[in-house]
Structure 1
């Protein structure tokens, strides 16, 4: 209950739902969200596909543009190289006079578009032949090297041409004679043993004319590399005819172009996507060798303008998607208002019916019947269901109250049963007789409130009888059978001469009236406190372990049938002796079959490793606690799968005891000091 501004007490159930909490608003918002998610998903998927297609098309266009420009450059160069090769073969294979050589040279120059000049050198092959070395320019300028005394043989280009054996292109150079014009030259030696060469000059402007238009395209950069690596032309500012591409990369830090330059050095066509280290733009660059001329063309295209326009269109689409989603949500809300109105009426009626001005609980309501029950649609079904629910609340609460009381009573009874079961279990024992010390102890941890495991210690003269067992079930039935088994064993031990006789007597007693067919595995033993002599028999129980001074071994106790199925006398007796310092450990399968959260069992090997690492001076109580602690650490947060019981008996010589008359007394394990152990061997 809460108090209103006027001081009136109001119910926490309100009959009115605010618009932002209403069903139609939620339906509208969810529909709008779904529409938005759908539209955004479709838009983004389409954008991803279109972006990839646009980039792929742009790459193909860039490669096609580079290949086309390289083809046009190759055609320009090929025309000049063919003319040079033809003139060289003509001169080498015919004997022409100087006038005829000049005419042939002029004709070749006129036949080659874009050629700026030609040089022809023909050295005499036989005495008396003419020596010809002339340069003829397209502007009519002639130069006779013989008359001028020009020593062309001392020029590097002449030596390189003769040594090359094939035509080669020079890097661009500034021709002062032609009026400070940048040119490049193709040089070819005379074939078939003739001594001389043919050169054709081409102005660099004529050479790069086919690719200059690329430099003006948006986002495109074109670079032409000469055979020796000099940048002949480039859209990049400040590097054309000034440096090589390697120098530019080193100077400007353009490591993104290193792979392209390596491919240019190898005259290998390639293409790659890379990010400009100066501008950060994503670029796609293509490298195309110009035939076998040694020239290389690089064309790069940035996608930022394309992606920018694409992203603008994508933003508009997303904004449109949001508008459509909002419009859809508004329409759905209008439609939902018509559908949800009967439900809202029912809600108000239900709240009114459930609220009670006297402040009584819902279970106490005896108000008027729920309205809207006459309707034939879903609202009517809901109204009738709510009316039935109102009537069933009281009976359900009553049932819950009765169940709670019964559960509380059951838990109390289980607690009493656990206390009774624990009272059936004996305390540990300790014997200090002269120089001899025996300590016996056990721990039991049930998987449920009560369990089926048990153990017992019974003093009989100078001997200590001990029992450990495991009933075939868990919970209350196992606890009841366990109590019966402990009682029968204790009765049998009072008159039995050996553990085998005790098990045989208990087998006869437990088999009577065992209609539930429950059974128990039992290990029964007897030890002489003075000598350490030990007798044991097993009714289907696991063999105990012996912790000696130097190793851990399994005591080979042959097992007879479990107790409870049928009467049996077949319980083989094992006899031996504990040496000074030995510790006998017996367990139930709740130790080795304890499972962790990974469904991994504790296992015999892990138990053996633990016992190997125990302190050999540890007593029975410490051994039991170490084993239980290790099992708990292993299973962690996993629920216990079975009852866990550990029994241990340590025997040895005591230290600091009087050497007078023997003094026998027993006390709970864990008190006093454990005597030093002398090495010994098990006798079978």
Structure 2
């Protein structure tokens, strides 16, 4: 009886934590999006290209933006090819590095963001409401696993660039106030976009971190696959049994899993008895 009541209490706590984390994540995504749209409006209104073609001024704008928004990892302003004379591509980018900030012109020193391989440019440039990328590793610029929201500026349909914000996915535990070992986040395709074991991140399916053979995992897998919120136990690939709660982040159809090893339940039960 005691065991069941402690398990129930634990599940209730997990349910609260996962739903609170999902709300915080939803708020973070909405804030990042609205804030980026504001920057985009502002740049679209600056008709004077000489002001915009000033790397120092843009670097200051972007650095201040990242400084004021501790949850943002990086931010860029990317222009269409040949917007300025003698610059085929121009995209000032500021991102966090340790306790400071790094500046980079992605167009000159990163990669060709218009070559079709970068959704934050190719999918966003004609999207009035902007575009959230899938999780990706930003090789050549920020060099972390992140997601990017990008929105075009200028007058539709002749947009002349996009503004962006990057969120670094390895910062999710700190942002949500959950210990890394107790948090798993999956995207709308069921890929792990946060797991304390970095090797498992971006694995194509949950089979990489659950014990596939274990019949106990059916209820939990169903929760994940059906996009439902709820509680269940599962066994991971190392044989550890967890109690977990799953909640949804409506904005991007992500799933947040907050979990606790079952042996902690026994430990608290023994404490109670003692």
Q: Same fold (TM over 0.5)?
A: yes
2: distance between equivalents of 1:294 and 1:107? 32
Alignment partner of 2:91: what SS? strand
Unaligned 5+ residue runs, structure 1? 1-47, 317-684
1:85 corresponds to 2:42 = no
Alignment-derived partner of residue 669 in structure 1: none
Q: Deviations over 1:57-94 (max 9, x none)?
A: 21111111122333333444344322211112223344
Alignment partner of 2:200: what SS? coil
Q: Deviations over 1:334-375 (max 9, x none)?
A: xxxxxxxxxxxxxxxxxxxxxxxxxxxxxxxxxxxxxxxxxx
1: distance between equivalents of 2:42 and 2:92? 17
Q: Is the 8 A contact 2:246 2:257 kept in 1?
A: yes
Aligned partner (choices 150, 164, 179) of residue 199 of structure 1: 164
Q: Is the 8 A contact 2:71 2:175 kept in 1?
A: no
2: distance between equivalents of 1:192 and 1:80? 22
Q: Structure 2 vs 1, CA of residues 144 and 275 (structure 1 numbering), >3 Å: closer, same or farther?
A: closer
Alignment-derived partner of residue 171 in structure 1: 135
Alignment-derived partner of residue 15 in structure 2: 63
Q: Structure 2 vs 1, CA of residues 212 and 162 (structure 1 numbering), >3 Å: closer, same or farther?
A: same
Q: Is the 8 A contact 1:222 1:300 kept in 2?
A: yes
Alignment-derived partner of residue 259 in structure 1: 222
2: distance between equivalents of 1:109 and 1:296? 31
1: distance between equivalents of 2:140 and 2:258? 31
1:234 corresponds to 2:195 = yes
Alignment partner of 1:120: what SS? strand
Shift of 1:203: 3.2
Alignment-derived partner of residue 246 in structure 2: 287
Alignment-derived partner of residue 248 in structure 1: 208
Alignment partner of 2:92: what SS? strand
Q: Structure 2 vs 1, CA of residues 207 and 304 (structure 1 numbering), >3 Å: closer, same or farther?
A: closer
Alignment-derived partner of residue 557 in structure 1: none
Q: Is the 8 A contact 2:19 2:247 kept in 1?
A: yes
1:136 corresponds to 2:86 = no
2: distance between equivalents of 1:113 and 1:238? 23
Shift of 1:298: 1.1
Shift of 1:54: 2.5
Q: Is the 8 A contact 1:231 1:239 kept in 2?
A: no
Alignment-derived partner of residue 325 in structure 1: none
Q: How many matched pairs?
A: 254
Shift of 1:310: 3.2
Shift of 1:149: 11
Shift of 1:164: 4.9
Q: Structure 2 vs 1, CA of residues 169 and 289 (structure 1 numbering), >3 Å: closer, same or farther?
A: farther
Q: Deviations over 1:232-277 (max 9, x none)?
A: 2224x464325133442688446434213313xxxx4511323537
Alignment-derived partner of residue 186 in structure 1: 149
Alignment-derived partner of residue 115 in structure 1: 72
Q: Is the 8 A contact 2:245 2:257 kept in 1?
A: yes
Q: Is the 8 A contact 1:172 1:232 kept in 2?
A: no
Alignment partner of 1:141: what SS? strand
Q: Deviations over 1:594-652 (max 9, x none)?
A: xxxxxxxxxxxxxxxxxxxxxxxxxxxxxxxxxxxxxxxxxxxxxxxxxxxxxxxxxxx
1: distance between equivalents of 2:240 and 2:31? 41
Alignment partner of 2:90: what SS? strand
TM (normalized to structure 2)? 0.70
Alignment-derived partner of residue 260 in structure 2: 301
Q: Deviations over 1:105-143 (max 9, x none)?
A: 64244223243432223449x9x9x98731222434231
Q: Deviations over 1:479-529 (max 9, x none)?
A: xxxxxxxxxxxxxxxxxxxxxxxxxxxxxxxxxxxxxxxxxxxxxxxxxxx
TM (normalized to structure 1)? 0.32
Alignment-derived partner of residue 73 in structure 1: 25
Task: Report matched runs for 1:351-390 at 5 Å.
Answer: none
2: distance between equivalents of 1:152 and 1:85? 20
Higher RCO, 1 vs 2 (CA within 8 Å, ≥6 residues apart): 2
Q: Structure 2 vs 1, CA of residues 308 and 87 (structure 1 numbering), >3 Å: closer, same or farther?
A: closer
Q: Is the 8 A contact 1:169 1:294 kept in 2?
A: no
2: distance between equivalents of 1:174 and 1:131? 21
Q: Structure 2 vs 1, CA of residues 91 and 249 (structure 1 numbering), >3 Å: closer, same or farther?
A: same
2: distance between equivalents of 1:185 and 1:232? 13
2: distance between equivalents of 1:230 and 1:150? 26
Task: Report matched runs for 1:527-546 at 5 Å.
Answer: none
Aligned partner (choices 114, 119, 134) of residue 153 of structure 1: 114
Q: Is the 8 A contact 1:253 1:277 kept in 2?
A: no
Indicate the RMSD between aligned Cα atoms, in angstroms. 4.0
Q: Structure 2 vs 1, CA of residues 303 and 110 (structure 1 numbering), >3 Å: closer, same or farther?
A: same
Q: Is the 8 A contact 1:109 1:115 kept in 2?
A: no
2: distance between equivalents of 1:258 and 1:273? 9
Alignment partner of 1:161: what SS? coil
Unaligned 5+ residue runs, structure 2? 96-100
1: distance between equivalents of 2:266 and 2:210? 30
Q: Structure 2 vs 1, CA of residues 108 and 303 (structure 1 numbering), >3 Å: closer, same or farther?
A: same
